[in-house]
Amino acid sequence: MSILRLLVLSLAASVLVLRRTSAVVAQNQCAVQANTLLSGRTYINCTHLPYLDATLHYTYDPANSSLSIAYVASPTTGGAWIAWAINPTSTGMVGSQALIALKPTGGSAVVAKTFNVSSYSSIMASPLSFEVWDLAADEVNGTMLLFGSVKVPGSATSLNQVWQVGGAVDGSQPLIHPLSNGNRQSMGKLELAASAAPGPSPASGTIAMPPEAPAPAKNGERRMGGRGRGVWLGMAGAVVLGSLAF
């Protein structure tokens, strides 16, 4: 066996080991959080998000198109908020509908609020464009927890999500988040179809996503819903790229 071949093989082996290791670490983190942080709330799925050391526990219930989540992250040093958002119309911060856990200035308890992020400079406390219930927030040892349930369009098989860690607050208003790479890249797709709560008739379960097309450029819209029906409702989370606010 040539040296080159050996090198290639061992490289491939280490990549496999690394992948396995990070998957195991993520799984452990999900399990540890579920046992220690979630106050008995349970979720079917959990993903360690690729940026900001944040984790999303979630359950999608196709029976009533509801998604319940627990978003777990630590605010940046000196920061006082964390956010998880869906953008029903695009993939960036602008237009996103955000659930935010924040510690108001001078307060000690974390509160949960919803914000309409209509531009980089307009982050308004507001009801969202979809139904939200069971909104709650908590903090354990510097880690913040954001809980909530949202109604998603019945045809959705995935959502564009955005997540963030702040940043200071002014009163109950989140201020700009850091602009590191992680804070700018923390958006992506959340698959719903594969997260169905166990139902009575698995045979009539949700439709799997068609193979993923390459991700469009940053602000491209993403498709969801019935294929061939041209439902372009990119639900992109968006609490990123804030030049003024988030």
Ligand X SMILES: *[C@@H]1O[C@H](CO)[C@@H](O)[C@H](O)[C@H]1NC(C)=O
CA distance 223 to 193: 14
Stretch that binds ligand X, among 21-29, 126-134, 168-176, 219-227 (CB under 6 A): 126-134
Q: Restricting to residues 163-222, which ones interact with ligand X according to CB under 6 A?
A: 191, 194-195
Q: Does 136 bind ligand X (CB under 6 A)?
A: no
Stretch that binds ligand X, among 100-108, 121-129, 173-181, 218-226 (CB under 6 A): 121-129
Q: Does 35 bind ligand X (CB under 6 A)?
A: no
Least gap, CB of 114 to ligand X (angstroms):
9
By beta-carbon proximity to ligand X, the closer residue of 116 and 172 is 116
Tokens encoding 157: 């098989």
B/e letters for 61-78, b = 16+ CB within 10 Å, e = fewer, are: bbeebbbbbbbbbbbbee
By CB under 6 A, how many residues form the interface with ligand X? 17
Candidates 29, 74, 116, 185; binder of ligand X (CB under 6 A) is 116
Contacts of residue 32, Cβ cutoff 8 Å, sequence gap at least 6: none
Least gap, CB of 66 to ligand X (angstroms):
4
Identity of residue 159: L
Q: Name which of 96, 58, 76 is nearest 144 in CA terms.
A: 76
At residue 54, the 3 state secondary structure works out as coil
CB 71 within 8 A of CB 163: yes
* Other CB atoms within 10 Å distance of the CB of residue 18: 10
By beta-carbon proximity to ligand X, the closer residue of 129 and 155 is 129
Q: Does 90 bind ligand X (CB under 6 A)?
A: no
* Residue in the block written with tokens 């469009």: 216
Q: Does 44 bind ligand X (CB under 6 A)?
A: yes
* Residue in the block written with tokens 């294929």: 227
Candidates 61, 175, 185, 221; binder of ligand X (CB under 6 A) is 61
By beta-carbon proximity to ligand X, the closer residue of 67 and 240 is 67
Q: Which residues bind ligand X (CB under 6 A)?
A: 36, 44-45, 61, 64, 66, 116, 118, 126, 128-129, 140-141, 151, 191, 194-195
